[in-house]
Structure 1
Amino acid sequence: MLTSVKIQRRQSEIRQALAPLVANDNPSEDETRQIETLDLEFRQNETRYRAALIAEDEERREAGAELETRGEREYADLVAGFEMRQVARYLDEGRQLEGRTAEVVQELRSANGYRGVPVPWQALELRAGETVSTGTPDPMQTRPIIDRLFPDSVAGRMGASMINIGSGSVEWPVATAGASVGWQSSETGNVASPSAYATTDHALSPDHTLGVQMRITRKALKQSGEALEQAVRRDMNAAIAVEMDRVVFLGSGADGEPLGVITGAATYGITNTDIGAAPDWAAFRSAVLRFMLANSATGPAGVRLMLRPEVWDATDDLITGLAISEWDRIAAKIGNTVLTTNALAAPSGDPAESVGLLTTSAGGVAPIFVGTWGAVDMIRDPFSDAQSGGLRITALATMDVTVARASQLEIISGIQ
């Protein structure tokens, strides 16, 4: 208990003791001495109380911060102990969920409706220390908030921010116009006229649901717990990450897919520069310069570049008379270079041409938002693999994609 609280309680006791003594019109000598003693103690306690408040100020601030973050940390601790093997055995054998896994599932069910077993997005991350053998697993990696679903995915490396939404649609207002500045031209003149603070809303809507089907054999179900735990998480992680990387950039916006960044460049207002030539550092330097002129980046170190492996192959030959290649110059200047065959379409045409994408984060705002709703809904199919004793489950995940500011992205096409 804090010292200030103890002093407050003692002050209340003194007041209660003084009340009947003061009400007596003819107090005895003992009562008078008691009044003087209590009055002296009360005044001394007032001084001690003020000193205690000063000393406990920092403790109170720390306690307040602890209360503000305790809920998120407690839930993160619960999710850290979520076991995918319990979900698989619940769907296969009907075995009841236990421990922290049961608490997380109950918490998710209270927030949304699910046909099957809800699985939090954090549980799909590959955890450090879990082995396929019978070794004892080490403590898993815990993330405080949902920021990146799969940090090693292309979308994550290109700066996409993962936003988990409980229900409904979410709009992200991004400022497009604001304060104006100007000097007073004369002693009696006015400064610059004010301009309206304007924002543009970028919405994420739960209109796109991805389905992932998994087959777990009877042998896998009977293996050791760590093996099944890692296998289920690894398969779901890979399946969702690969498709997420594809639709974030190449989603068609039709047939249930979100509209990807490259496919929907015109819709999002993203600049598309056709170089129509072999790739070199000069072409990418011009794109970085446009970022800097638009105040989206302070230099090439803050830019991320995504290319096809064929571009790396075409630029890794040594420059005539030099001991470096064009690729060496690109990789040395650009902050983060990502090669992918999944998030970019294969080169086509004659000569074969590819596409590249540059992104940057400005003012703490990610260039791409990827919204996920609730948790992954895992539903059992009891009939498809019944003859072999296997388990087939379908995982449903709702996602959407939007762009924060078009000026934070640029497409380079015509890379021959």
Structure 2
Amino acid sequence: MLESVKIQRRQSEIRQALAELVGKSELTEDETRSMETLDREYRSNETRYRAALIAEDAERREAGEDLETRSEREYSELIDRFELRQVALALDEGRPLDGPTAEVVQELRSQGGYRGVPVPWQALEVRAGETVSTATPDPVQTRPIIDRLFPQSVAGRMGAQMVSIDSGSVEWPVTTQGATVGWQATETGDVAAPQAFQTADRPLKPDHTLGVQMVLTRKALKQSGAALEQAVRRDMNAAIGAAMDRAVFLGSGASGEPLGVIAGAATYGIASTAVGAAASWAAFRAEVTAFMVANAASSPSAVRLLIRPEVWDALDDTVFDAGSGITEWDRLVKHIPAGNVAMSSNALDAPAGGPPAESSALLTTATGGVAPIFVGTWGAVDLIRDPYSKAASGALTLTALATMDVTVARPAQLRVLTGIQ
């Protein structure tokens, strides 16, 4: 029991005793001494009561902070012990889920409807190592959600932010018109006239569902838990990661695909520049300069660059200064760190046209802590079983459904280059 509650109860008893004494017309010496003792105790308890409240208030705040984070921490610990092996055996043999896996699945089902067994996105982590004890994997590596899902994702390297959505649509209001500023021209003149504060909404909608199918052979199902864990994680991670990267940049916006930032540059309002010349640092420098002029980036090191491997080959093969041997690639990474340069043959279309063939590139930057690209995912991955199509071989076909979308908050944080020869 709290000390303040104990003191309150004692104060109530003292008041009751004093009320009985005060009601008497004549008091004995013992009753008078008792009244004085109770009065001193009451005054002393008032001081103790205030001190107890101060101490308990600090304890409540500490306990409140712990309670606010405890649920998320406990859920994260449960996901760390989530076993895809149990999901596969439950779908194949009807084996009941148990332990942390059952708790996570029950929690996901309470938040949304799934035809199959829901699998949290975090469970798709390709773990660097496992410490197996009594067949329970114990992950030794924990990373942020977008890195944990796809550590080598091009979207992640280009600054895209993964947004987890339970249900419905999410919009990102972006200011398009705001405060005005201006000096008072004369002593009696007015300052700049006000204008309405306006925003434009950049929505993420659950209109695009990605399907991933995999076949687990009977041999794989009978293998040890850790082996199946890694096999399923690698397959699903690689398939979803590759499809997500391509959709983020090259999605057509039709046939179920979300609209990618390069394919939909005109729709998003992203500036696109046709180079029409050989790959060079000068072409990229012009776009970096445009970022800084628009206050989107403070320096070239704040810019991220996505290019095709063929463009890197051309840059590294073009010598800018024959005497020193400095190439166009050397000039580029001198200003844009090599860690900010992503090369992908999946996120960008293959060079076409020509000769010479032409390619595209994308530059992004994060401004004011706002990511240039948002990738929304809804709920968890819905894992559905099909034991019939491969029944003759005893294999199990799994279909994983993942709903996701792509949007751009501020077009000024992205720039597209086309016609790089």
The alignment's TM-score, normalised by the length of structure 1, stands at: 0.93
Q: Percent identity?
A: 68
TM superposition shift of 1:139: 3.3
Could you say if the C-alpha distance between residues 413 and 199 of structure 1 is closer, same or farther in structure 2, counting changes exceeding 3 Å? same
Mapping of residues 214-253 of structure 1, within 5 Å: 214-253=214-253
Q: Corresponding residue for 1:288?
A: 288
Q: Corresponding residue for 1:212?
A: 212
Tell me how far apart the structure 2 counterparts of residues 328 and 126 of structure 1 sit (CA, whole Å): 34
Secondary structure of the 2:375 match is: strand
Mapping of residues 95-110 of structure 1, within 5 Å: 95-110=95-110
Q: Which amino acid counterpart does residue 199 of structure 2 have in structure 1? A: T
Could you say if the C-alpha distance between residues 89 and 415 of structure 1 is closer, same or farther in structure 2, counting changes exceeding 3 Å? same
Q: Which amino acid counterpart does residue 374 of structure 2 have in structure 1? A: F
TM superposition shift of 1:52: 4.4
TM superposition shift of 1:303: 0.9
Q: Which amino acid counterpart does residue 353 of structure 1 have in structure 2? A: E
Q: Which amino acid counterpart does residue 11 of structure 2 have in structure 1? A: I
Equivalent position to 2:347, from 343, 347, 367: 343
TM superposition shift of 1:217: 1.0
Mapping of residues 340-379 of structure 1, within 5 Å: 340-350=344-354, 351-379=356-384
Q: Corresponding residue for 1:187?
A: 187
Contact 2:81 / 2:136 at 8 angstroms: preserved in 1?
A: no
- Root-mean-square deviation (CA, aligned residues, Å) is 2.3
Contact 1:249 / 1:344 at 8 angstroms: preserved in 2?
A: yes
Contact 1:369 / 1:404 at 8 angstroms: preserved in 2?
A: yes
43-52 vs 291-300, greater mean Cα deviation? 43-52
Unpaired segments ≥5 residues, structure 2 = none
TM superposition shift of 1:14: 2.2
Kindly indicate whether residue 5 of structure 2 is the aligned counterpart of residue 13 of structure 1: no
Q: Which amino acid counterpart does residue 21 of structure 1 have in structure 2? A: L
Kindly indicate whether residue 327 of structure 2 is the aligned counterpart of residue 330 of structure 1: no
**1:130-183 deviation per Cα after TM superposition (whole angstroms, max 9, x unaligned):** 389x99955343457668742320011111111111112221111222222223
**1:70-92 deviation per Cα after TM superposition (whole angstroms, max 9, x unaligned):** 22222222212111000000111
**1:255-281 deviation per Cα after TM superposition (whole angstroms, max 9, x unaligned):** 111111111111011100111111222
Contact 1:130 / 1:230 at 8 angstroms: preserved in 2?
A: no
Q: Which amino acid counterpart does residue 19 of structure 1 have in structure 2? A: Q
Tell me how far apart the structure 1 counterparts of residues 228 and 396 of structure 2 sit (CA, whole Å): 13
Could you say if the C-alpha distance between residues 216 and 8 of structure 1 is closer, same or farther in structure 2, counting changes exceeding 3 Å? same
Could you say if the C-alpha distance between residues 51 and 147 of structure 1 is closer, same or farther in structure 2, counting changes exceeding 3 Å? farther
Contact 1:202 / 1:403 at 8 angstroms: preserved in 2?
A: yes
Question: How many equivalent pairs are there?
Answer: 413
TM superposition shift of 1:221: 1.0
Tell me how far apart the structure 2 counterparts of residues 92 and 403 of structure 1 sit (CA, whole Å): 41
Could you say if the C-alpha distance between residues 222 and 184 of structure 1 is closer, same or farther in structure 2, counting changes exceeding 3 Å? same
Q: Corresponding residue for 2:43?
A: 43
Secondary structure of the 1:316 match is: helix
Tell me how far apart the structure 2 counterparts of residues 6 and 399 of structure 1 sit (CA, whole Å): 53
Q: Which segments of structure 1 move beyond 6 Å, counting only runs of 4 or more?
A: none
Tell me how far apart the structure 2 counterparts of residues 332 and 58 of structure 1 sit (CA, whole Å): 53
Tell me how far apart the structure 1 counterparts of residues 312 and 142 of structure 2 sit (CA, whole Å): 35
Tell me how far apart the structure 1 counterparts of residues 45 and 181 of structure 2 sit (CA, whole Å): 56
48-57 vs 72-81, greater mean Cα deviation? 48-57
260-269 vs 160-169, greater mean Cα deviation? 160-169
Contact 1:306 / 1:340 at 8 angstroms: preserved in 2?
A: yes
